[in-house]
Amino acid sequence: MPGRFKPLIILIILAAAMWLEMFLLKNFNFWFEMTIAASLLASFGIYCNHRCGEAINFRLYYFEPKHIFIGIISAAVLYLIFYGGDYVSKLVLSFADKQVVNIYSNKALLDPSIIVILLLIIGPAEEIFWRGYVQDTLQEKFGDNAGWIIASVIYGAVHLFALNLMLFIAALVCGLFWGWIFKRYKSLWPGIISHALWDVTIFVLLPVR
Domain limits, the chain: 5-205
pLDDT digits (tens, 9 = 90+) for 107-154: 999 999 999 999 999 999 999 999 999 999 999 999 999 999 999 999
Which residues lie closer than 8 Å to 141 by C-beta, 6 or more apart? Answer: 5, 147
Residue 1, pLDDT score: 44
Start-end of H helices in the chain: 5-20, 30-51, 54-60, 66-92, 96-104, 112-126, 136-142, 144-157, 165-185, 189-200
The model's pTM:
0.96
Is pLDDT of 62 > 50? yes
> Predicted confidence band at 54 (pLDDT cuts at 50, 70, 90)?
confident
Residues 141 and 90: their CA atoms lie apart, in Å, by 40
Residues 44 and 50: their CA atoms lie apart, in Å, by 10
Q: Span 163-172, mean pLDDT?
A: 97
pLDDT digits (tens, 9 = 90+) for 14-35: 999 999 999 999 999 999 999 9
Q: Span 96-116, mean pLDDT?
A: 96
Average pLDDT, whole number, for the chain?
A: 96
Residues 180 and 194: their CA atoms lie apart, in Å, by 12
